Amino acid sequence: MKMEQYIRAIAGLFILGSLALGYFFSPYWYLFTAFVGLNLFQSAFTGLCPMENILEKLFKIAR
Q: What is the pLDDT of residue 58?
A: 92
Q: What is the pLDDT of residue 63?
A: 78
pTM of the model: 0.86
Q: What is the pLDDT of residue 34?
A: 97
3-state secondary structure the chain: CCHHHHHHHHHHHHHHHHHHHHHHCCHHHHHHHHHHHHHHHHHHHHCCCHHHHHHHHHHHHHC
Q: What is the pLDDT of residue 17?
A: 98
The closest alpha carbon to 39, from 58, 29, 52, belongs to 52
Give the single-character DSSP code of 55.
Answer: H
User: The domain containing residue 44 runs over which residues?
Assistant: 3-62
What's the domain count of the chain? 1
pLDDT band at 62 (very low <50, low <70, confident <90, very high): confident
Residue range 1-25: mean pLDDT, rounded:
95
